[in-house]
Every structure is written in structure tokens, then in C-alpha cells.
Chain A
Amino acid sequence: MIPAQFDYVRATSAEHALQLLGEHGDDAKLLAGGHSLLPMMKLRLAMPSVLIDIAGLPDLSGVRRDGDDVVIGALTKHGELAASEILEREAPLVAHAAGLVGDPQIRHRGTIGGSLAHADPAADLPSALLASDGWLELQGPEGTRRVAVDDFFTGYFETVLQPDELVVAIGTPRRMGAGWGYEKFTRRANDWGIVTVATVGGRVALGNMGPTSLRARATEQALARGASIPDAAELAAEGTEPVTDLHADGEYRSHLARVLTRRALTRAAG
């Protein structure tokens, strides 16, 4: 299928992108890797009248250390994350999750900023960054603000990002040597996770167990109390309301969350 008609403008800088967003308002959409937006447009689930292409903005790409954090430009591609030596040392969970996104073509175009802004509960990077206690830097007409990933997702494909704001960077604390685990349950290698579990430093995040990536709080609390991994993992689905879809009903999803949490925690402990 082909999208409905739209106009296309290429932004030359973050400021230019913001200016264009201001001009076109709600009718405009930022275009990064296009790997979530274009499929939606082809299915006509999204029909923006203007696309503001930010993919080429050079300042918003790359991975660097910044004090106690690793800072990732919003336009850094999944493939670049997976191959980043800095991430490999300082935040291997993020690199690993990025390496499991879709297939090589998707990892070659899709960006971390796009993935977080899109806020698909089944996506890999939101959960990885939630478990990592990450944050986002958002730039708007009034300047920039920093939002914890914990506070970023508000609902199914919904975030606190305003229509006139841009994600410019994503950060995560440096955690060299910390044990981590990531479990992605799929039927085929290049599928979205039916359930995903990310864990590092005692935090546990679940993917596709509700409208957003979410913390397995009961498990985290049990771990903090010193519960064994199997016992803590049994609580993984507590408080969640997973959907029923083609691949899994709620009961099965909850079961997967428990098994995968146990495996991820065991991996992190090993």
C-alpha cells in the first residue's frame, strides 16, 4: 500500500526542526528512520500532512561518555548501538537489546530516538532503557528538559513528549561490570517480542505486558528483600494486565513473564 499524500521538508538543524514543528503544528510528524512511521502511513493509520526529515542531522548522532553517564544521540541507529564499544563496556544491556531489533535492514535505519518516541510496548529499547534507569533530553521552543524513562511513557504509543518537542539525546548511567540480562521471546528471529524482560542493577523491566514498558515492581521489591531469584521471578506479572493477541493470551503472557524474568535474573547473577 502507499501512504496518503504528504509534503516533505528536510530540517537542517535541531532548531530548524523545532521551527518547522512550530509552523506546521499537529499536522506535522518528525521522520527519523521511518521504520515505525512509514509502515503506519502505508496502512493509513497515520496520515500526517507534512514530514519533517531529521534523519540527516549530524549533531544528534553518536555515543559518548559524559561523567557518570553514557549519552546517545537520538538519531543513533540500532546497528550503531549494537556495535558501539562504549556501550559494550558501559551499558551492554542496551547494545544487546539494540542488536535484537528486527533484522539488519531495520537496524540500519531505525533510531533510538524514534523507538522511544514511538513508545511501542513491545519494542526492545524502551524496556532496556527503563531497566537501565535511563533518561531522555527533550528540546522544545522553551528550551530543553530532562525526563527519566520511568516518567516518559504514559500509555499505548503515548509519552510526555509534546508535539512541538524533539528527543535530542538518551542517557543511561555507566554500569561497567554490572550483571545484566535480556530475554526476548519470539517465534521467528526477526519478530517483535511476544514478551521481553530486561534487567540490570536490581531493576526489572517488562516489554509487551501492558500499554507501556513497565517495571516488575513486585519482583524488584522481593529481590531487594533478599528473595531468591525463582521466588522473585514468580511475582513478575503481578499488577500487569497483558493483552490477548494472536500469539498469546493474558495467562500465557504472564507465565512467559515469570519464566523469562527468572532466566534474565539468572543470567544477570551469573
Chain B
Amino acid sequence: MSILGTRVLRTEDPRFLTIGGNYTEDLVDERLTGAVHVFFVRSPVAHARIVGIDPSGALAAPGVVAVYTAADLADLPDVPPILPTMNQAMKRPPLARDVVRYVGDPVAIVVTEEAYQGEDAVELVDVDYDALAAVVDIDESLAGETLLFPEAGTNVAIEYGSEADLDSKLFDGCEVVVKHRIVNQRIAPAPMESRGAAAVWGDDGRLTAWIPNQGAQGTKGAMVGMLGIGAADVRVITPDVGGGFGAKFGADLEHVATAWVARKLNRPARWNETRYENLLGMTHARAQIQTVTVGGTRDGRMEAYRLEILQDCGGYPKIGGLLPSLTILMTPGTYAFDRAESIAKAIVTNTTPVGAYRGAGRPEATAAVERAVDLFAAEIGMDPAQVRRRNLLPPFTEPHQTKFGAVYDTGDYEAALDRVLEAADYEQLRAEQAKRRANGDPIALGIGLSSYVEVTGGGAESGEPHENALVEVHPDGSVTILTGTSPHGQGHETAWAMLASDVLGIPMDKITLKWGDTDLIPRGGGTGGSRSLQQGGSAVQKASRELVDVARTRAAEELEANPDDLQFDVATSAFAVAGVPGTSVSLAQLAEHERLFVETDFFQPGATFPFGAHVAVVDVDTETGKVVLRRVIAVDDAGVILNPLLADGQRHGGIAQGAAQAFLEEFVYDADGNPMTASFADYPFPSATEMPSFELVDMQTPTTYNPLGAKGIGEAGTIGSTPAVQNAVVDALSHLGVRHIDLPTSPQRVWKAIQAARSENA
């Protein structure tokens, strides 16, 4: 029986749980002997002109090797916004040159002999700032009174459509139209391992850089671009990575600066950031203000939907400026609106730049439409489950093209909704809610729904989504797999070994997975956008099968038989001639005289569209506003599941992160752009105590786009859970007249919403 589809335990865990991982900061490598330590002087103000920088105090401090400012880094090019369609005047210098644009913006580099000397020395660099008005709020930025980049002439980095494109008749004929402005708040990815780098230049003039990342090849590409050197001159190595969530794709200016310092001083250099720096310096996420309008009939048919997005990019337009395009792509979600439209503006503010984070643009789309559906349901007084059922796209097995350019591969949204409602015992929950309300229970019960479809495996590189793999069988019967994906917690060592073992008949414990060294594996798309299994895993399976074909030809020669007469026995990992007992040759034996390997690419015809439905159950203390998450019941249909244990892990983490956005996390600035949540004492990400045990419901609708039938599972939980929990909180208070509470539904915000509703009713 095949091991595919079974709960194989993670082979990674014994190492992580005993000797632990080997992260960039832990690296012991003789090439790094005598490394200097790199520190960054970061702006303490949100927006200011740099009048002068006096490094003399730092230079006199113990162990300080050098202090560098933007002037020293003149050989590094400014980084343009990531899309050519963005306002090209919004360039980012390698260090802030004349102006700082957010608290945390790197202004100078301090290099020390020992790691502990840096933090003292950083404080001794005297930077003279001339304060400028800080633009913190999105509306304020739009008003354009203060420009972050005066030469750009605007704070708008990019527009996707404009007001002029909107159809003034979109809601004509609708019996009911509901409109609401909703906030999808700024949050911090906060991976357990913060950022870091180690860099050394060899005598051959080549750079070797160890960087925690989500794809060494992409990181190398970014380093090559920012250092302005040839691709052949850079080798990126990926040590263990403690979480990325999208924020560790590519390379940041600190990585480049570390490499630059190593070259300048001709010594190895290391950089490790503190948690405080990480919360300011790593990209933030989400940060959209959305205006949703939905129109339809009193009996529950939703006819028209409009989504208008304002995206906060932070101080420089990075991936944040691209996120709205993904939000727009997924505008209608799982629903069959007759008419739908969406536009977006991405603007800059004096805050940390915004980037990708688990779901990147799609959670924002789902949050918007799911809130809109509930607003509509409340307006017409219909059960939100019924409104959803009435409006879902019917099941389809042939690709469904939306007006926004998405091609949903396969989907059965109603089945997902039915399953989750049944598993939650929705009717019983509603009865319990009615009972509590009748009894005047101060602890209100809230039941929230979400239905979602998202896009995965769109391809980190341009063109048709694809990934490569190399599978090699060694004479001792062991196997090496090289992959262009880049695991950092997902469990590829287990999953990729399962796939190869299943084809080659070689036990998993003899299979080693390698990734994240650009000399060894020059090509690859990395791990992000939930792409790894569908493309990287399919490539491993394809390479393994092709390897058996190659081996068959060799075995035929060895056994002097016709290849077609050979049978490959997976149980023994050997070929035998049909009907001739005693003749057999194993894959390992076939590798004895000549290397036995296959390198192959797997191409997928397009992105896949996993979908699902979540139900969240919350208790809301109407006296204090405190939300306690009681249950999350989730259907996350990601096609065929290779290893339910790994998939469950992805769902657990995703649901927790999404739920945390709903009722806990928010990165807050004061009106002057000072960060208020730059430590874990103030940035409230969840612990296990804030989460219930999740109830995962199985559903597998295969995709036809890859032989595994697999879609992505990495981001699904995050996408489904945020709106389900938010809707549950609002639902708990609907009888009081509460229609909406912005994210996160913190106690004070919930209490104020109750107060406002009560005074309105009174």
C-alpha cells in the first residue's frame, strides 16, 4: 500500500527537538572566522531631513572598526519600486540619504569587532534631524499636504483603475444597497527567527552569503541586483529558517549592507537583528482600508458588489504596492455576483514598508467580501448561512473564469459550506444563541461564517508556474533529492521523501533532501504562495518516475533483456525479467558504474484555487467587551492531501495567525509616527492559551493541474479564519444593533461598539 495520503511523522522533528536547528546566528564556519559585526543606526523619528551625521563618538568607542553612511555606499544603486508601473521617483537609497521616512529607517552602519560592542556604539552616532510633518494616516497621505517624495509629486505609488472607471449604474435596480468602510489593519509577521546575514568574499572575488530566506535563488537575484555584480559572483546558502510567512522572500538592504561591509573591509561580516529592530525593520502586512458596497434583492440574492481599496505601502513602495492587485484578482470570492468591480490606490506613509504575509492580498479580499455578505444579510434580516448558500457559484469541474482574470480550476463551494455547518452543528449553535439572548446572559454567543477561494502556486517566477527537482540514487542505496523549493517549517524533508520513496521503493530514512544553496541548485522558485507541493512535489515525483525509466534501459542491458519485459518491483526497488525468477538488479546496483540521476522540471498549466469554509464560535463578554474564541471549525479543501499530518499543521498555524488578526494583533503608530507596539510586551500575538483546539473537517477536490491532484494549503487557514472570527464577534452583538467592528476586535473596541449601538437604540 502506498504511503501517500497517510500521516507519516515529520522526519525533521527529532533534530529540532533534540540538538535544535542551526540558524544563521548559530553558524560556526571557518570561512566566518574573525567576522566583524554589523549594526544599524535607525531613525528614531518618522519623517525628518538628515542635517548631519557625526560618527566621531562611535569611532572612539571600544571595538568600533568603522561607521558608514549613505555617502560611503555611493557604489550601490538606489532600489526602484518593485514594479515599473509604480511611481519611479519613489526610489530607496541603500541607506537613508537626505531624508528618513519611518521610525527604523537605517541611517548608518556601525561595524564592531565583537557583537556586544555594537549596541553601545550605535547610540554614540550623533545624527542631527530636522523634523518634517509625519504622514501616518492613509487619508492624510491621500490629501497630499506633505509628500514623502516631493520629486514624485504625489504620495500615490500606483493605481489599479480609478474612480472614473467605476460603473455609476452598478447598483441600479437593487432593492437593498449596503456600504461600509472597513479596516484591514497593519500587522507584523513576527517570525520566531528575526532577520540576519553572514557574508564573506573569497579570493576569487565571489560572495558567499548565508541568509535566512524563503528561496535562495530569489534572494541571490535580489542581492545581485542591489550589489550591482554578476550572477556568477554570488552564492547564497540557506541555513535553518525560523519562519518567514512571506516576509523573508528576496533580500533587504541590511543583507546587502552586510555583504558590502565584508567587501569593503575584506573581512567576513555578520548581522543579527534584535526583536525590536525586527518589529520595525521587517516588512509589515495587510494595511488596507476597504470600502465595500453590496446590492441585491430583499430575498437574499446579491446582484452587485464593489470593492475600493486604499493600500498603505509604508515608507517605500515594496510588495505592499503589489498586494492590491491580488486583492482585486480575488474580489468576488466564491460568489456569483451579476456585476462586480474593484479599484485600488496604493500610497506611501511614514511607517514601516508593507510586504507579503501569509495570504498576501487574498486574505484582504476574503475579509472584504465576507464582511459585505454579513452586512447584507443583517440588512435584509436573513441568516448569513442562507445568504451564502443562495449566492455561491455552483460546483464546477471545468475551469471557471472570473471577470477579474482569475481562472478557478475546480471548486464545490456549497459542499464546503454544508460540511462545515454540519460539523459545527449550526442549528444547535443558533438555538444556544437564542437561549442566551432570551435569558439576558451577559456572555453573548457569536457564530461567524466565511466562505473562501484563494489562489496558490501562481509561480514565483515569470511564465508558466514550474519547479525543478533532481533525484539521484547512490550505489549504497541512498537517495539525494535537490529541490528548488525552500522549506522553513512546512515539512518538505518528510513530504519529498515520501514522494520519492513511493516511486523508487527506497525507504524514507535513506533519502536526503537538499535545498537552499545556489551553487548546488541554481534554479528554483522557493517556498511561498503555497506553491511547494503542487510544483516542487510534482517535480520530485516526476523526476523519480523518469529515473525509473532511465534505470530500466540500464537494467535491460545488465540483464540482457528487452526493457518492456522488465518489471520494476517497488517492494525491493529492483527490476526483474517477467517470468524469469532469480534475475534481478536493484536501482542501487544500477548506480554502481555510472551516476543514476534525473533532473527535471514540472510545469503546471496555471495557478490552483483551494477553497473552503470556516465557522468560528466566540463568547463576547458584553460587560467588558472581551472576546474569547471557543471553536473554529474548518473545511480547507486543497485537493488531494499527501500527508494529513503536515496539512493539519499548516491549517493549525494558519488558523491561529488569521484568528489573531481578528481579535488580537495590530501594529499601532501614534499620530507622530512613533511605533507603540515595537516589543512583544505590546504586540499581542497569540499564545496557545488564546486558541481552542481546532476542528478540522476533511474535504479533497482534486485539481487536474498536477498529477498529485494537490493545491496549496499554506495560507488557506489564515484566509478563512480572520473573517469567520470577525463575523462571529459582530454576530454575537447583532441583537444589540451592532453591524460592524473593525479589526482587531479588541475589548475596548467591542465595548465602544456596544455603547454606540445602545445609545443609538435608546
Q: Does A188 contact B624, Cβ atoms closer than 8 Å?
A: no
28 chain-A/chain-B pairs, Cβ below 8 angstroms: A1-B119, A1-B274, A1-B276, A4-B120, A39-B681, A43-B679, A185-B624, A185-B626, A187-B626, A187-B746, A187-B747, A188-B664, A188-B684, A188-B686, A188-B687, A188-B689, A188-B690, A189-B690, A190-B689, A194-B747, A246-B677, A247-B747, A247-B748, A248-B747, A252-B747, A252-B748, A252-B752, A256-B624
Which 7 A-B residue pairs are closest in the complex by CB-CB distance? Answer: A189-B689, A259-B623, A252-B748, A1-B274, A248-B748, A2-B119, A246-B676
A149 to B689, CA, bound (A): 33
Closest to A3 in B: B119
**Per-residue interface assignment for chain A, residues 231 to 254, with 1 indicating a CB less than 8 Å from any chain B CB and 0 otherwise:** 000000000000000111100100
Residue in B119, B624, B752 whose Cβ sees the most chain A Cβ within 10 Å: B624
Smallest distance from the beta carbon of B281 to chain A beta carbons, Å? 13
Given contacts A188-B690, A260-B624, 11 further A-B contacts (CB under 8 A): A1-B274, A1-B276, A4-B120, A187-B684, A188-B686, A189-B687, A246-B668, A248-B747, A252-B747, A256-B624, A259-B624
Smallest distance from the beta carbon of B273 to chain A beta carbons, Å? 11
A149 to B404, CA, bound (A): 67
Closest to A5 in B: B120
Chain B residues with CB under 8 Å of A1's CB are 119, 274, 276
Residue B682, interface by CB 8 Å: yes
Residue A23, interface by CB 8 Å: no
Known A252-B751, A252-B752: A191·B684 in contact at CB below 8 Å: yes
Number of residues from A at the complex interface, CB < 8 A: 23
Smallest distance from the beta carbon of B737 to chain A beta carbons, Å? 19
- Chain B binding surface, main DSSP class: loop
A194 to B684, CA, bound (A): 13
A269 to B493, CA, bound (A): 59
Smallest distance from the beta carbon of B726 to chain A beta carbons, Å? 16
Known A188-B687, A190-B689: A255·B120 in contact at CB below 8 Å: no
Picked from B274, B677, B751, the residue with its CB within 8 Å of the CB of A255 is B751
Chain A residues with CB under 8 Å of B686's CB are 188
**B246-284, CB < 8 A from A:** 274, 276
Chain A residues with CB under 8 Å of B276's CB are 1
Chain A residues with CB under 8 Å of B747's CB are 185, 187, 194, 247-248, 252
Chain B residues with CB under 8 Å of A2's CB are 116, 119
**Per-residue interface assignment for chain B, residues 123 to 145, with 1 indicating a CB less than 8 Å from any chain A CB and 0 otherwise:** 10000000000000000000000
Chain B residues with CB under 8 Å of A248's CB are 747-748
Chain B residues with CB under 8 Å of A188's CB are 664, 684, 686-687, 689-690
Chain B residues with CB under 8 Å of A190's CB are 687, 689
Chain A residues with CB under 8 Å of B664's CB are 187-188
Smallest distance from the beta carbon of B98 to chain A beta carbons, Å? 28
A71 to B626, CA, bound (A): 37
Smallest distance from the beta carbon of A203 to chain B beta carbons, Å? 23
**Per-residue interface assignment for chain B, residues 660 to 682, with 1 indicating a CB less than 8 Å from any chain A CB and 0 otherwise:** 00001000100000001101011
Closest to A1 in B: B274
Chain A residues with CB under 8 Å of B689's CB are 188-190
A190 to B748, CA, bound (A): 19
Chain A residues with CB under 8 Å of B677's CB are 246
**B94-139, CB < 8 A from A:** 116, 119-120, 123
**A1-35, CB < 8 A from B:** 1-2, 4-5
A4 to B746, CA, bound (A): 36
Smallest distance from the beta carbon of A90 to chain B beta carbons, Å? 29
A247 to B749, CA, bound (A): 9
A246 to B747, CA, bound (A): 11
Chain A residues with CB under 8 Å of B751's CB are 252, 255
A137 to B119, CA, bound (A): 39
Known A191-B684, A256-B624, A259-B624: A249·B748 in contact at CB below 8 Å: yes
A252 to B753, CA, bound (A): 12
Smallest distance from the beta carbon of B163 to chain A beta carbons, Å? 35
Smallest distance from the beta carbon of B741 to chain A beta carbons, Å? 15
Closest to A245 in B: B676
A255 to B621, CA, bound (A): 13
A146 to B388, CA, bound (A): 68
**B669-726, CB < 8 A from A:** 676-677, 679, 681-682, 684, 686-687, 689-690
A197 to B539, CA, bound (A): 61
Chain B residues with CB under 8 Å of A39's CB are 681
**Per-residue interface assignment for chain A, residues 36 to 53, with 1 indicating a CB less than 8 Å from any chain B CB and 0 otherwise:** 000100011000000000
Closest to B275 in A: A1
**B740-762, CB < 8 A from A:** 746-748, 751-752
Chain A residues with CB under 8 Å of B682's CB are 246
A191 to B681, CA, bound (A): 8
Residue in B276, B626, B677, B748 whose Cβ sees the most chain A Cβ within 10 Å: B748
Smallest distance from the beta carbon of B39 to chain A beta carbons, Å? 11
A249 to B747, CA, bound (A): 11
A218 to B318, CA, bound (A): 56
A256 to B624, CA, bound (A): 6
A255 to B626, CA, bound (A): 13
Chain B residues with CB under 8 Å of A191's CB are 684
**A54-71, CB < 8 A from B:** none
A220 to B676, CA, bound (A): 36
Chain B residues with CB under 8 Å of A255's CB are 751
Chain A residues with CB under 8 Å of B748's CB are 247-249, 252
A125 to B245, CA, bound (A): 39
Chain B residues with CB under 8 Å of A252's CB are 747-748, 751-752
A190 to B684, CA, bound (A): 10
A191 to B682, CA, bound (A): 9
Residue in A44, A187, A247 whose Cβ sees the most chain B Cβ within 10 Å: A187
Smallest distance from the beta carbon of B307 to chain A beta carbons, Å? 30
Chain B residues with CB under 8 Å of A185's CB are 624, 626, 747
Chain A residues with CB under 8 Å of B119's CB are 1-2
Closest to B677 in A: A246
Chain A residues with CB under 8 Å of B626's CB are 185, 187
Chain A residues with CB under 8 Å of B687's CB are 188-190
Chain A residues with CB under 8 Å of B668's CB are 246
Smallest distance from the beta carbon of B528 to chain A beta carbons, Å? 29
Chain B residues with CB under 8 Å of A259's CB are 623-624
A33 to B691, CA, bound (A): 30
A252 to B274, CA, bound (A): 34
Smallest distance from the beta carbon of A262 to chain B beta carbons, Å? 9
Chain A residues with CB under 8 Å of B752's CB are 252
Chain B residues with CB under 8 Å of A44's CB are 123
Smallest distance from the beta carbon of B187 to chain A beta carbons, Å? 14
A247 to B684, CA, bound (A): 11
Closest to A189 in B: B689
A4 to B124, CA, bound (A): 12
Closest to A249 in B: B748
Smallest distance from the beta carbon of A256 to chain B beta carbons, Å? 6
Smallest distance from the beta carbon of B745 to chain A beta carbons, Å? 11
A247 to B751, CA, bound (A): 12
A141 to B476, CA, bound (A): 77
A74 to B516, CA, bound (A): 53
Chain A residues with CB under 8 Å of B120's CB are 4-5
A44 to B682, CA, bound (A): 17
Closest to A263 in B: B623
A39 to B679, CA, bound (A): 11
Closest to A256 in B: B624
Closest to A195 in B: B624
**A160-201, CB < 8 A from B:** 185, 187-191, 194
A1 to B40, CA, bound (A): 13
Chain B residues with CB under 8 Å of A189's CB are 687, 689-690
A91 to B647, CA, bound (A): 49
A260 to B687, CA, bound (A): 24
Closest to B744 in A: A187
Chain B residues with CB under 8 Å of A5's CB are 120
Chain B residues with CB under 8 Å of A43's CB are 679
Smallest distance from the beta carbon of A100 to chain B beta carbons, Å? 12
Smallest distance from the beta carbon of B620 to chain A beta carbons, Å? 13
